[in-house]
Chain A
């Protein structure tokens, strides 16, 4: 059985879903944290594309191989940890299509984080939560094919949904604006997936091992800032 190292900053960010996959998949892993101002610049050039996260796969014979780019890492771990709907190319691609659509929704809020004034940020987040999110989630709700996205088996698609829910909690719990909660009545199947995951290993990861106390949502400023 291989073990894994997740090389990233001490924040959920773009490593959150892969850490969740490793936890739910029962894999042995460690976090190799990089500090943005000190250790990160020294190792940036060693990364295949100059970016992290990096996943190091450590085989039982001690050999190591590195994988970069969160979407590739997530696809790899989902397959390696039996968190895909099935073994065929089509089944795996369908799971990736759900992740891709949710990632597109996730990306749509990023611009709001960087708007120059507090008022602009608050307004952009409000529009995102009330207009953009339901537009995307209605298709997600329709897609769900059972207790989980793909029927009876929990997969990376469900975990991606939960990872998005957690990020919304980071940003919106203090203002009671998490669209998954505000619009819960419109998205019962998605809500049930989140509730179920929250009670299991994914929820335990979220509460115990997802946040490293270094960064947080600044309620006054509507930004993520160092603590």
Chain B
């Protein structure tokens, strides 16, 4: 049986969804948490000087490694049965949903770039009313069944779920998925269904939040002591 190691900091951030996918699919995996003080020596051992890195230990004893969040998630989606089908087009369509969600995430990162908490608050409040619902509206329109691609949970649904709890972590009850739930019935149903099952169990019992948190009065992400 193939076993996996996910190497990343003690934080959710760019490892969050990969961990959820591994757990959801019942894969044999472990988290290798990299401390800040270790990163200096570890950095040059990674393919592009960044983490996460996925280490794949095949049953025959061989090992290979894969870098870059999007590549890791794409790979895991395929090997863990979390794509809607095996054809290149079906897999690419799944990647397109995720890519659009990453665009939304980048939009929220931009809102936290302001130099003062007032500036950041203004940017986030604007996003909550304008860009976030706009992104979600297209996603709601895309959903093609019980889940994004019909009857089966895929990478796209798990990305939505990861986005949903990121929005909740950042905005609490002001998350547009909550305040405008009536505008997003299909997305809401997917999130609720996942929360009630294995994904919810993972989130409540095994999800690593670690040292990175949303500082709501500062309207930005930051680190707590390790």
Contact = CB atoms under 8 A, between A and B. Distances in A.
A90 B66 CA distance: 8
Interface stretch (B16-24, B87-95, B178-186, B199-207): B87-95
A101 B92 contact: no
A57 B88 CA distance: 12
A115 interface: no
Sorting the interface of chain A by its residue count into under 10, 10 to 19, 20 to 34 or 35 or more gives: 20 to 34
B33 to A, nearest CB: 21
A97 B56 contact: no
Given A89-B79, A97-B47, A67 B74 contact: no
Interface string B141-173: 110000000000000000000000000000000
Interface in B97-135: 99-100, 103, 134-135
Contact of A93 (B48, B66, B89): B66
B89 A65 contact: yes
A67 B70 contact: no
Interface in B60-81: 64, 66-72, 74-75, 78-79
B3 interface: no
Contacts of B64: 90
Given A57-B89, A80-B88, A139-B49, A100 B70 contact: yes
Sorting the interface of chain B by its residue count into under 10, 10 to 19, 20 to 34 or 35 or more gives: 20 to 34
A224 interface: no
Contacts of A97: 47-48, 66-68, 71-72
Interface in A91-106: 92-94, 96-97, 100-101
A76 B88 contact: yes
A96 B138 contact: no
Contacts of A69: 95-96, 99-100
A95 to B, nearest CB: 8
A94 B54 CA distance: 11
Nearest to A105: B48
A93 B72 contact: yes
A73 interface: yes
B113 to A, nearest CB: 9
Contact of B75 (A73, A90, A101): A90
Contacts of A65: 89
B182 to A, nearest CB: 21
Given A71-B95, A72-B95, A72-B96, A94 B71 contact: yes
A151 interface: no
Given A72-B95, A75-B95, A143-B47, A93 B71 contact: yes
A100 B69 contact: yes
B96 A67 contact: yes
Q: Which of A49, A50, A65, A96 has the most CB of B within 10 A?
A: A49
Nearest to A68: B96
Contacts of A139: 47-49
A206 to B, nearest CB: 25
Nearest to B138: A49
A79 interface: yes
Contacts of B138: 48-50
Contacts of A96: 68, 70-71, 74
A163 to B, nearest CB: 17
B175 to A, nearest CB: 20
Interface in A48-97: 48-51, 57, 65, 67-73, 75-76, 79-80, 89-90, 92-94, 96-97
A48 B96 contact: yes
A89 B92 contact: no
A71 B70 contact: yes
Contacts of B74: 75, 92-93, 96
Given A89-B79, A97-B47, A143-B47, A71 B142 contact: no
A100 B68 CA distance: 7
Interface of B: 47-50, 56, 64, 66-72, 74-75, 78-79, 88-89, 91-93, 95-96, 99-100, 103, 134-135, 138-139, 141-142
9 contacts: A48-B96, A48-B138, A49-B100, A50-B138, A51-B100, A90-B66, A97-B72, A100-B71, A136-B49
